[in-house]
Amino acid sequence: MSPLEPFGARLRRAMDERGPLCVGIDPHASLLAEWGLDDDVAGLERFSRTVVEAVADRVAVLKPQSAFFERFGSRGLAVLEKSVQEARAAGALVVTDAKRGDIGSTMAAYAESFLHPDAPLFSDALTVSPYLGYGSLSPAVALARESGAGLFVLALTSNPEGGEVQHAVRADGRSVGATMLAHLAAENAGEEPLGSFGAVVGATLGDLSTYDLDINGPLLAPGIGAQGATPADLPRVFGPAVRNVVPNVSRGVLRHGPDAGALRGAAERFAAEIRAAVAGV
């Protein structure tokens, strides 16, 4: 295996050159309908191709949500495969949002599916769930290091249900979410200019000053746009770690389709607003 340059280094460069924006590819049935598309494989393919063609040459990251492709079975996965490959060919980094989490050989197989360079669905990074214990992610961590890919680990998510697990306090007095951040800081120790093991931290969570978000790795931040957070909120939520935040916008960009020019314009506006907010810190 010939590894790529580490994901963290590639991400830092993409964010500096293109702005720190991740655009989600979330082909909900309702969005397909808004675009005048049928809720079928043809509609899925048209939607995904349009987004990739419109913005993959100008945004740092594209994040397809695997579930919306998987619901169409093997033909939907074929669309995902093509979308990932075409987005990467256009210069965007691809984070496949599949939130995989298991143990042993099963976790290793998930890792092989998305993080091995020879895999059809190879992505620059993968979202994973650590709630079978952080150590259960070891096969994915090892393969990501070997291939030059990255991981985004669910740590402090924006959904209200997440708190019952992530804010639970361990016997040592540290919350589960804080424990995940500490594991990631250890993975990224000494890496320059940025580690490859990131956390998912919701932009809608308000004051996170009690958490150490400076993990020397990226923070994938859902919640900008339709969920209520704005670019101007980022410095308040993330503090000094805002320099490593990758804000995710999905519906805020996608609702401007199917016109490619409108999609590009929306992505460029968000990128400019995020860059300005981060630059002010």
Strand partners, 246: 220
DSSP output for 153-181 = EEEE-SSGGGHHHHTPBPTTS-BHHHHHH
Query: Is 82 part of the annotated catalytic residue set?
Result: no
Separation CA 89–CA 84 (nearest Å): 9
CA–CA dist 188, 157 (Å, integer): 20
Instruction: Name the region of 274 (left: φ>0; alpha: ψ -120 to 50; beta: rest).
Output: alpha
What are the phi and psi torsion angles at 186 (to 5°)?
A: -65, -40
Q: Select which of 28, 88, 99, 255 is catalytic.
A: 99
E-state strands within 48-149: 61-64, 93-100, 125-128
Active site residues: 99
